[in-house]
């Protein structure tokens, strides 16, 4: 009986965090814009981040993806890409995502919405 009570208490505590992460689920679309000092071959254009069950993923043009788990406050760090050099950091807040995309010396800003 005591173990059952503990499990119920743990589930009740975890439910708000899980519900918070699920609130970010969906497709987030927008643009990636290289910084003013970026090289000519830095990422730019339209991008989509897909969020499912609190995990964010952005497909890369090389066919690989960068992904990461969203914290309850909306912050996320996604890593990946074919060579593992892509790092995306940012925050989901309301219906907007703002962040930074870094790879191979390139730094670009991300602005997306749903």
**pLDDT of amino acid 11:** 47
What's the token pair of residue 8?
């119920």
Q: Residue 69 belongs to what domain range?
A: 2-113
Q: What CATH number does the domain containing 10 carry?
A: 2.40.128
Q: How many domains does the chain have?
A: 1
What's the token pair of residue 11?
């589930």
pTM: 0.77
Determine the average pLDDT of the residues in 24-46.
86
Q: Could you read off the pLDDT of 52-91 as tens digits, one per residue?
A: 999 999 987 766 789 999 999 999 999 997 777 889 999 9
- For 1-114, strand residue ranges (E) read 26-34, 45-52, 55-59, 65-69, 75-80, 86-93, 96-103, 106-113
């Amino acid at each position: 009986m005591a173990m059952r009570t503990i499990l119920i208490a743990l589930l009740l505590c975890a439910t708000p965090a899980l519900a918070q992460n699920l609130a970010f689920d969906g497709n987030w679309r927008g643009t990636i814009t290289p910084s003013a000092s970026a090289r000519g071959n830095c990422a730019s254009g339209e991008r989509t981040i897909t969020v499912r069950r609190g995990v964010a993923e952005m497909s890369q043009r090389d066919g690989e993806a960068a992904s990461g788990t969203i914290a309850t406050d909306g912050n996320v760090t996604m890593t990946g890409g074919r060579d593992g050099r892509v790092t995306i950091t940012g925050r989901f807040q309301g219906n907007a995502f703002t962040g930074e995309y870094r790879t191979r010396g390139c730094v670009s800003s991300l602005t997306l919405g749903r």
